[in-house]
Chain A
Amino acid sequence: QVQLKESGPGLVQPSQTLSLTCTVSGFSLTSYNVHWVRQPPGKGLEWMGRMRYNGDTSYNSALKSRLSISRDTSKNQVFLKMNSLQTDDTGTYYCTRVNWSFDYWGQGVMVTVSS
Chain B
Amino acid sequence: DIQMTQSPSFLSASVGDRVTINCKASQNINKYLDWYQQKHGEAPKLLIYNTNNLQTGIPSRFSGSGSGTDYTLTISSLQPEDVATYFCLQHSSRYTFGAGTKLELK
Contact = CB atoms under 8 A, between A and B. Distances in A.
Interface stretch (B12-20, B41-49, B68-76): B41-49
Interface residues of B, number: 21
Interface of A: 35, 44-47, 58, 60-61, 94, 96, 100-103, 105-108
B51 to A, nearest CB: 11
A47 B43 contact: no
Nearest to B47: A101
Contacts of B1: 61
A102 B44 contact: yes
A105 B43 contact: yes
A35 B96 CA distance: 13
A101 B53 CA distance: 11
B94 A101 contact: no
B71 to A, nearest CB: 14
